Structure 1
Amino acid sequence: MFHIGFIKTVLSIMRCVCFNCSKILADEDETKFKQALKIRNPKNRLKRIYDACKSKKVCAGGDDLDVQEQQDTDEPVKKRGGCGAQQPNITVDGMKMVAEFKASKKKNDDQEQLPEPVERKQILSAERVLNVLKRISDEDCLLLGLNPKFARPDWMILQVLPIPPPPVRPSVMMDTSSRSEDDLTHQLAMIIRHNENLRRQERNGAPAHIITEFAQLLQFHIATYFDNELPGQPRATQRSGRPIKSICSRLKAKEGRIRGNLMGKRVDFSARTVITPDPNINIDELGVPWSIALNLTYPETVTPYNIERLKELVEYGPHPPPGKTGAKYIIREDGQRLDLRYVKKSSDQHLELGYKQHN
């Protein structure tokens, strides 16, 4: 099945390679192709190679062209190995990939039979696209800006679906006898059910259009499992009509996992404020509000080199005189924390090497 997050990238790669032999359509001697190879950013390189290949309608560089060129010149000619096949116009329609063949092509021994009619549209299954991407060599992957060791293009087609553990989709106990499952659990159950239905239809030898309908239904549930807010697509809903909360909606936006739970956590020793320029401080200084500066502390380990200075800070305490800095609390080696706001005895304020003092 197609991964809805990679379908546009898969479309770009499919337009860059031959539909029959999976070779890159652009000629190595073209100026656009040479300029694209100089780009080191993988994403930008794929975009430039796509610009060089999108107008190609034939997989050029076949054996006949190579032999003719080699006869005209005495220098050895490097063969591209193109098959000479006519290329279809591949587009994405919603969650479907469609190939439009403009003309028929005679089948060679090593070439896939193209449709007989002059103009015909075919819905490309994910399995067919996967076979094209698998045939792309590692050398061509590098030219496309993909690292074949970590990012093969055929890996962007879903062959297995990872299942998140129960803590990601916990069930809620309604009362002592009933339990409500998470939206992801419901959607995974739908995916498993429709996958079994598709497998049953293939096993029973159902017609091709029936299998295509079942495959599209399975593709819909897989896509809405990842993102249920796809433009131009209906939303997957519960029986009550409420749209399910997909994985994408749990991660993005202000209330998502990133901004809502990770970046927005309230922790110790931190503060937030509005930042503005100040003409009264130096360029390498940072102004901090007085109320924040009195509460924020910096841990400093007691050593023979700073013990005298730290003792002076302990004497000032948590409420130092104007222009001075004081200590807030002391952490001993056994982990005991002494708050200097409540410790008045000088014996308890004694410092030893290894203590941590928060100033």
Structure 2
Amino acid sequence: MPKEQYRETYVGRKISHVTFNVDSASDIQQAAHIQVITKNLYAQDGQRIPARYGVLDRRMGTNQKDANCETCGLGLADCVGHYGYIELALPVFHVGYFRSIITILQTICKECAQVMLQETIKKSFRRKFMNPDLSYLHKKSLRAAVLKKAKTCTKCPYCEALNGVVKKSPAGILKIIHDKYRTKKHSDPVVQKVLRGFNEAVESNKELAGMINSGLIIELSPLEVLNLYRRIPEEDIPLLGMCARLSRPEDLILTRLPVPPLCIRPSVVSEIKAGTNEDDLTMKQSEILLINDVIGRHIASGGKSELVQEDWDYLQLHVALYINSEMSGIPLSMQPKKPGRGLVQRLKGKQGRFRA
């Protein structure tokens, strides 16, 4: 049975405040009516009927005058549209929160996931963050102070693990590297031990040599970062400038993707050629589902790690372009054939939703 849309009886209300927060994976699922799994846009019967569980499924609304929405039964003029969601085969970084993801990694230990500050300093910062009258600018400066102190810490005060510099990798698109042994000399026994282990691993598995250039610089994949963020203690979340009640650090990494209603991405019936012209967002969702499918098949059949990694990079790129299509630094081999308009492009600038 489809979910009923919640409508409250008309009563006067006074708005006290507006809060913006990041939707978690469960919030995205709760707001959605269906899970989109089919990459085909239309059923294969030649009648141009949208495929069930596809990105044009009529349960997300309708974009035709002669068809009704299958969730609320209303027509094009009255149906407000309903959301769907895509379950990603592997987690990816959100292009809009990429800088925030890096600053959180610079603040926490990459082994035990605790904020790298002494307990006494944590307590004093926590007290300041808990102030109910804290202004946005004051909170921002407090967050910068926490980051500055944590960045100088090369050894975790809790598990004594080595922590180095975390930064964006120049090698790939939306990649993060952790230079763990930057402060150590090459002759240091710890460094020598790591290099020995790395060389042994490369000798036994030649695939690794192509994927990892150096044993000393660690690349942090979205999956590793997600698991690390999930382990951040509840009491440390205010120190990251976040409110644990509203959203947690792991919400910055995408495991599910919301699929917006059909009314904001209508199909236009083409006069020149038979068929329809689909919206950029619809096409991008279809591409994401296709890559998802390929990754799922590779994992199920135990495919080569390079193939999975290559597809993962493609998934990361297409999800980023879906959100912001004007992203810079895309390698020539991965450039999209024709430029589309992402979610950011629909909102910003003179032609965007707010100003237009």
Cα drift, residue 28 of structure 1: 3.4
Local SS of the residue matching 2:236 = helix
- What is the CA-CA distance between 1:143 and the residue it aligns to? 2.3
**1:109 matched residue in structure 2:** none
Q: Report what 1:49 is aligned to.
A: 146
Say which is worse superposed, 215-224 or 138-147, in terms of deviation: 138-147
Note if contact 1:2-1:219 (Cα within 8 Å) is conserved in structure 2: yes
Structure 1 residues 114, 183: closer, same or farther in 2, change over 3 A?
A: farther
Alignment of 1:73-222 (within 5 A): 82-93=158-169, 94-102=173-181, 116=197, 120-175=216-271, 177-222=274-319
Q: For 1:251 and 1:139, locate their aligned partners in 2 and report how far apart those are by CA, in whole Å.
A: 35
Write out per-residue CA displacement over residues 171-211 of structure 1, whole angstroms, 9 at most, x where no aligned residue: 11003831111111111111111111112112222233322
1:115-158: CA deviations, max 9, x gaps? 94595223221111001101111110022221101021111111
Where does residue 16 of structure 1 map in the other structure?
107
Please show how residues 297-316 of structure 1 align to structure 2 within 5 Å.
none
Asked whether the equivalents of residues 126 and 238 of structure 2 are also in contact (C-alpha less than 8 Å), the reply is no
Query: Counterpart of 1:123 in 2: which secondary structure?
Result: strand
Q: CA deviation at 1:47?
A: 1.8
Residue type of the partner of 2:180? Answer: F
How far the C-alpha of 1:83 sits from its partner, in A, is 0.8
What's the secondary structure of 2:118's corresponding residue? Answer: coil
Decide whether the 8 Å contact of 2:125 with 2:239 is kept in 1: no
Higher mean alpha-carbon deviation, 185-194 vs 122-131, is at: 122-131
Cα 1:154–1:55, aligned 2, differ >3 Å: closer, same or farther? same
Q: Which runs of 4+ in 1 moved over 6 A?
A: 103-106, 235-238
- The counterpart of 2:128, out of the listed 20, 30, 38, is 38
Unaligned runs of 5+ in 1: 61-81, 107-112, 261-359
Query: How far off is 1:43 after superposition?
Result: 3.2
Q: Structure 1 CA distance, aligned partners of 2:162 and 2:243?
A: 28
Q: Partners of 2:330 and 2:123 in 1: how far apart?
A: 37
Alpha-carbon contact 2:143-2:241 (below 8 Å) kept: yes
| Larger RCO (alpha carbons 8 Å, 6+ apart) | 2
Q: TM-score, normalising length from structure 2?
A: 0.59
Q: 2:331, 2:279 → 1: CA distance?
A: 20
CA contact (8 A) 1:86 1:105 kept: no
1:255 is aligned to 351
Which residue number corresponds to residue 322 of structure 2? 225
In 2: Cα distance, 1:153 partner to 1:199 partner: 26
Name the CA distance, whole Å, in 2 between partners of 1:184 and 1:193. Answer: 14
Shift of 1:56: 1.3
Partner of 1:293 in structure 2?
Answer: none
Q: How many residues align?
A: 230
Map Cα deviations across residues 239-259 of structure 1 (whole Å, 9 max, x no partner).
xx4310111111000110001
SS state of the match for residue 178, structure 2?
Answer: strand
Secondary structure of 1:26 counterpart: coil
8 Å contact 1:98–1:122 — kept in the other structure?
yes
Shift in Å at residue 213 of structure 1? 1.4
| Structure 1 or 2: more helix by fraction | 2
Asked whether the 8 Å contact 2:281–2:342 carries over to 1, the reply is yes
